Structure 1
């Protein structure tokens, strides 16, 4: 006798579920309003929650280890954990891609600036200048702000 596990089918169905239905699932699974993030975020968090409820969540020792690591980073100040000092700045580790004159350039956001070709930079404008040879607003060059400066 084989048992059918409905979880993989539920997870696969998320890709084609209309967004209003995803938001309803969020409310049912989290007992809260869905955050105003993009669809892929909703899908991934709902998928995790479905699996968490079906198979169990993180082990207590894993939760303790993650909390200890978080305390090492923020000194135990829980207010700092959800806070980003510069709301416009991409999250550390984000990779910015830009094609310029047929060449693709990849810049990585670091904790204290940016990295391109293995070198640290304090600003995106310096990288844009190195790539193009002319002065650019780095945020505009990498598509993070439109030409009027709005994010």
Structure 2
């Protein structure tokens, strides 16, 4: 005997949450209030303005993104043409290489630079290459990967090797 599956009626999609428009005169007061809000209220504001759960980032990140969003809802965001142009410029600059998007060429040490770090009595030498880094004869795309290979734990590579971004970059 063959069973016939009964079709369940398709559930209607949930209506998209309504994101409130922000009157332009309210913007300065709302921006000024952000630093004084408890973190719980910042997260509630995120839910209201983005209609998503807040990311698990620090307070400073939430405040800056909320400040941008408040202004975006009051004054309007970037035009699609501007976004497309910025994307094209970004790809032209970094060639779709995510590593270079995170750390721009101006901020990376110059190719040929040797980074030396002593860890647990062993000296480790990393050479900066044009496309990344080299350690023990192997190429790596990031200093964090090298720091992890050395220590066995996750590290920020720049912190592990004591590199600070150049000022003004």
Q: Give the TM-score of the pair, scaled to structure 2.
A: 0.48
State whether structure 2 residue 23 is matched by structure 1 residue 8.
no
| Deviation of 1:13 (Å) | 1.2
Change in Cα spacing, 1:136 to 1:149, as seen in structure 2 (3 Å) is farther
**More RCO (CA 8 Å, sep 6+):** 2
Q: Is the 8 A contact 1:121 1:127 kept in 2?
A: no
| Deviation of 1:72 (Å) | 4.2
Q: Report how many residues are paired.
A: 108
Change in Cα spacing, 1:10 to 1:137, as seen in structure 2 (3 Å) is farther
RMSD of aligned alpha carbons: 3.9
Runs of 5+ unmatched residues, structure 1: 96-107, 110-114
Match of 1:150? 154
| Deviation of 1:93 (Å) | 4.3
SS in 2 for 1:15: helix
| Deviation of 1:91 (Å) | 3.0
Q: Is the 8 A contact 2:116 2:125 kept in 1?
A: yes
Runs of 5+ unmatched residues, structure 2: 1-23, 127-142, 156-169
Match of 2:66? 46
Change in Cα spacing, 1:148 to 1:70, as seen in structure 2 (3 Å) is closer
| Deviation of 1:63 (Å) | 1.8
**Deviation sequence 1:47-89 (CA, Å, 0-9, x none):** 00000000111123212212333554687xxxx79xx56xxxx
The structure having more radius of gyration, on CA atoms, is 2
**Alpha-carbon distance in structure 2 between the residues aligned to 1:41 and 1:60:** 25
State whether structure 2 residue 59 is matched by structure 1 residue 68.
no
